[in-house]
Amino acid sequence: MRILVLAREAVDAARVRSALPGDDLDGAEVLVVAPAEEQSKLKFWMSDADDAIADASGRGDEVAEELRSEGAHARSETGESDPIVAVRDALATFPADRILVFGDEDLAQQVRGAVDVEVTAAR
């Protein structure tokens, strides 16, 4: 199974596993996409995204490491600040069977409308 995890927040392996049918991560191919979302409007308008990129990179690496410790073949990438764009970009090189969106049902619904892949809103 190829799983794309949209990680706008830190997510542990137990949460990922519980969102999957059969709760099995062993051997799964996982791409963790961490959007570089800027929290400060001033930094956004000043095109100062360095902090957002560093935060996203660290978050993605942390989630991927957690998933590897559970037997998944996981890697991470930092995505665009718009989560929908980040998902579409990732799907261009990682044909996922399922997308897990954590903590945001509205975003999961938007992703469902934007891509032709099964999307699960996870907690």
Give the pLDDT confidence of 66-97 residue by residue, as tens digits.
999 989 999 999 999 999 999 999 999 999 99
From first CA to last CA, the distance across the chain in angstroms is 20
Tell me the pLDDT tens digit for each residue of 2-47: 999 999 999 999 999 899 877 678 889 999 999 998 654 554 455 5
Rounded Cα distance, 99 and 117, in Å: 7
Residue with tokens 């930092």: 78
Q: Which two tokens stand for residue 9?
A: 């927040």
Other CB atoms within 10 Å distance of the CB of residue 12: 13
CA torsion sign, 109 to 27 to 81 to 41? positive
Give the CA radius of gyration of the chain.
Answer: 14
Domain range annotation of the chain = 2-122
Could you tell me the fold of the domain covering 2-122?
Rossmann fold (3.40.50)
